[in-house]
Structure formats: C-alpha cells, structure tokens
C-alpha cells in the first residue's frame, strides 16, 4: 500500500481540489522554511512527528530533508528516541485514567 511512487499522484489530488492543494503547499513551504527555528531543526521535528504518527511518506521525505539540511545520523538517532519517549510517555500519562477505579 505504501509506495513512494504514489507521491506522483499528488497532481491528481491537486486537479481535484486545486485551491485547497495550492494553499496547503504554500503553508507547507512557509512552515518548513528556515526561520527563527533553523530548517534542520524543523526537519528533525518533522521526523519525530512522522515517527509518532507512523507516516512512511513523511518519514522518508523529512529524513531526506533533515539530511539535506545537515542532520547527522546521531541527530536522527536521538530524534527517534525522543519520539519513542513521547509515545511511551503518553501511554504512562494516559494510564492515570485507569488508576483508582479498579479493585485490588
């Protein structure tokens, strides 16, 4: 199901909803542009989010973007562990909803 070749079909999406698609790509360009937060950091953030949402397209695109912006393998590794920590932390904090209602 997930195949990077599917990215070639984005043009079809744009044909179906041209104004919304144009607005999305403008937003994407603005959000990911170098700014107060440098592009490399934005790409590493995007990698962490992609790992958390488990989007294979975003993982590949933002991994490549991070590398192109100068990210090292060590930075990608630490980014992956931050994402893993947040997923694990969410399970722990959401577990608080389970506490107190069950009998021991």
Residue-wise pLDDT tens digits, 61-98 = 999 999 999 999 999 999 999 999 999 999 999 999 99
pLDDT in tens, 10-65: 999 999 999 999 999 999 999 999 999 999 999 999 999 999 999 999 999 999 99
What is the spatial distance between Cα 33 and Cα 12, in angstroms, rounded to a whole number?
Answer: 25
Q: What is the CATH number of domain 35-99?
A: 1.20.1290.10
Burial environment of residue 79 by CB neighbours within 10 A (0 to 12, 13 to 18, 19 or more): buried
Q: Coil, helix or strand for 69?
A: coil
pLDDT, residue 104, reads 66
Residue 19 has which token pair?
């104004």
Residue 96 has which token pair?
């608080």
């Amino acid at each position: 199901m997930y195949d990077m070749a599917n990215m070639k079909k984005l043009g079809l999406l744009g044909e179906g909803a041209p104004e919304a698609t144009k607005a999305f790509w403008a937003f994407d360009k603005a959000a990911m542009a170098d700014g107060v937060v440098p592009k490399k950091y934005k790409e590493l953030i995007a990698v962490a989010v992609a790992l958390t949402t488990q989007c294979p397209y975003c993982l590949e695109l933002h991994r490549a973007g991070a590398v192109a912006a100068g990210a090292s393998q060590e930075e990608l590794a630490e980014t992956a562990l931050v994402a893993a920590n947040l997923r694990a932390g969410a399970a722990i904090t959401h577990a608080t909803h389970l506490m107190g209602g069950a009998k021991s």
